[in-house]
Amino acid sequence: MDSFQPIPPRPSPVRTEGAVPWIRRNLFGDPVSAVVTLLLFGAFAWWLPGFVDWAALQAVFAPDADRCQAARGIGACWGVITEKHRLIIFGRYPFDEQWRPQIATIVLVSLLVASCVRLFWKPWLALLWVVVLALFFALMHGGVAGLSVVTTDRWGGLPLTIMLATLSIVLAFPLSVMVALGRRSKMPAIRTICVIYVELIRGVPLISVLFMASFMFPLFMPPGTSIDVLLRVLVGITLFAAAYMAEIVRGGLQAIPKGQQEAADTLGLGYWQTQRKIILPQALSLVVPGIMNNFISIFKDTSLVTIVSLYELTGAMGLALNSDANWRPFKIEAYLFIAGVYFIFCFAMSRYSLWVEKQLSASKNR
């Protein structure tokens, strides 16, 4: 027998985990990809330092209009935010009383965040909602506990945005459930009414609904009555949100297997008992992501009330800068600030919506 001849060692396995393999696979996978990576990198390297320079390094943070003017084109003027942030965030609310909308907003946002956390999904949450909303209005409007009255035309900025979005969704929800049920009802008259409502509202832009609310609502009321502008706008946005949510809820209702309805009938449950105990709980848990999406879009759509002269965030910014010639050239920084505020809120909400979706689908994928 010949002596043992070892075969040459095989090459070690190629690493597929780790940073370098990842870069090789994802950035330089094939020639086209490599070229694209190089081009994009080059573009970034050319643009990014300039942007960072403008936005941070050379930027003027002090509320000094002259320094800002001197730094025009070289550095961003974040001083406009330092100077005007109270006017932008709180609108025309009286200066001395701005602690009130501050507290009111914090309380309302905390409530919204708390309602998102599983820990708080208890029956007393509903009571908490009522209490917090009452507290919000008491703080904003005043007239109780020695607080001075501030009429609704002075409300503005971030508190107004959050309040309009929250209140319109909360009010639109029961209405949308009714309309969705009505649309699936067997009674032709009720079905037709619901269809007409939904298709009419969904077919027109929100701005025309707001115009209708602000121009025509007063004509619809008996002569001599006058309705608060905020109330009119709230009614308009609520009707708008309800139409879209009705479609989402209807989608959820359609996804419930017919067997559930038949089983409920077998047990002898009436229509409203079936809906309340069997159908709606299942349907609504299906549509929570859709409702979150609707909330995000209504939150963004509140920026439209600036066209009917309620000064929410976008309008308050216009108000703050347009009448002040010293700061008007720095509108772009103010726009970026407000865009950032909206982005933070909406991005957080969309991340939450994804989390909720995962939670709900986890229970389905056993």
Partner 1 sequence: MTARAAPKAKRDWSLRSRAVRALLYQVIALGLIVAAVWFLAHNTMENMRVRGIQSGFDFLAQPAGFDIGEMPVAYDALDPYWKAFGIGVLNTLRVAIIGIVLTTVIGTLVGIGRFSPNALVRGLCYGYVELFRNVPILLQLLMWYLLLTEWLPDPGEPLSAFGLFFLSKGGFTFPVPVWGEAQAYAGIGILLGIALAWGWSRWVKVRFDRTGHRLPVALPALLLVIGGAVLGWLAGGAPNAWNVPVAGDVSVDGGSALTPEFLSVLFGLVFYTASFVAEVVRAGIQSVPRGQVEAANAIGLSRGQQMRLVVLPQALRVIIPPITNQYLNLTKNSSLAVAIGYPDVVSISNTAINQTGRAVECIAIIMLVYLTTSLATSAIMNWYNQRAAIKER
Partner 2 sequence: MTHATAKTLITGALAAASMALVALPAQAGKTIDAIKARGQLVCGVNTGLAGFSVADSQGNWSGLDVDVCKAIAASLLGDANKIKYVPLNAQQRFTALQSGEVDILSRNTTWTLTRDASLGMHFTGVTYYDGQGFMVPAKGKIKSAKQLKGATVCVQSGTTTEKNLTDYSRANALAIKPVVFEKVEAATGAYFAGRCQAYTTDASGLASVRNKEAKVPADHLILPELISKEPLGPAVRRGDDEFFAIAKWVVFALVEAEEYGITQANVDQQKTSTDPVVQRILGTTEDTGKLLGLDKDWAYRAIKATGNYGEIFERNVGPKSALGLPRGVNNLWNKGGIMYAPPVR
> Of 138-177, which residues contact partner 2 (CB under 8 A)?
151, 153-154
Q: Which C-beta is closer to partner 1: that of 128 or that of 190?
A: 190
Q: Dihedral sign, CA of 329, 331, 332, 337? A: positive
Binding to partner 2 (CB under 8 A) within 62-101 occurs at 92, 94-95
Q: For residue 129, give the nearest of 116, 142, 141 by alpha carbon.
A: 116
Under the binding rule (CB under 8 A), the answer on residue 5 touching partner 2 is: no
Cβ contact 80:322 at 8 Å: no
Residue 218 as a binder of partner 2 (CB under 8 A): the answer is yes
Among 298, 302, 301, 332, CA closest to 317: 332
Q: Which of 85, 320, 288, 308 is nearest to 211 (CA)?
A: 308
Q: Which stretch binds partner 1 (CB under 8 A): 89-97, 137-145, 162-170, 199-207?
A: 199-207
Alpha-carbon distance 10 to 163, whole Å? 69
Percent helix / strand / coil, the chain, rounded to 5 = 75, 0, 25
Which residue stretch of 1-9, 112-120, 127-135, 221-229 sits at the interface with partner 2 (rule: CB under 8 A)?
221-229
185 binds partner 2 (CB under 8 A): no
Candidates 288, 331, 352, 360; binder of partner 1 (CB under 8 A) is 331
**Is 255 a binder of partner 1 (CB under 8 A)?**
no
- Within positions 323 to 362, which residues make up the interface with partner 2, using CB under 8 A? 323, 325-326, 328-329, 331
Residues 72-131 that bind partner 1 (CB under 8 A): none
Nearest-angstrom CA–CA distance, 11 and 319: 71
Does residue 189 belong to the site contacting partner 2 (CB under 8 A)? no
225-233: Cβ within 8 A, 24+ apart = 228/152, 229/152, 229/153, 229/308, 229/309, 229/310, 230/152, 230/153, 230/155, 230/310, 231/152, 233/164, 233/305, 233/308, 233/310
* 342 contacts partner 1 (rule: CB under 8 A): yes
- Cα dihedral sign, 147-152-157-163: positive
**Vertex 88, ends 91 and 143: CA angle to 5°?**
25
Among the residue ranges 11-19, 35-43, 196-204, 320-328, the one whose residues contact partner 2 (CB under 8 A):
320-328
The one among 216, 231, 267, 354 contacting partner 1 by CB under 8 A? 216
The item of partner 1, partner 2, none sharing an interface with residue 335, based on CB under 5 to 8 Å by kind, is partner 1
Residue 224 interacts with partner 2 (CB under 8 A): yes or no: yes
Under the criterion CB under 8 A, does residue 231 sit at the interface with partner 1? Answer: no
- Residue 1 near partner 1 by CB under 8 A: no
Cα dihedral value 284, 289, 295, 301, nearest 10:
-130
Binding residues for partner 1, rule: CB under 8 A, are 25-27, 29-30, 33, 36-37, 40-41, 186-190, 193, 200, 202-208, 211-212, 215-216, 218-223, 296, 300-301, 303-304, 306-307, 314, 331-332, 335, 338-339, 342-343, 346-347, 350
Binding residues for partner 2, rule: CB under 8 A, are 92, 94-95, 151, 153-154, 214-215, 218-219, 221-226, 270-272, 307-309, 318-319, 322-323, 325-326, 328-329, 331
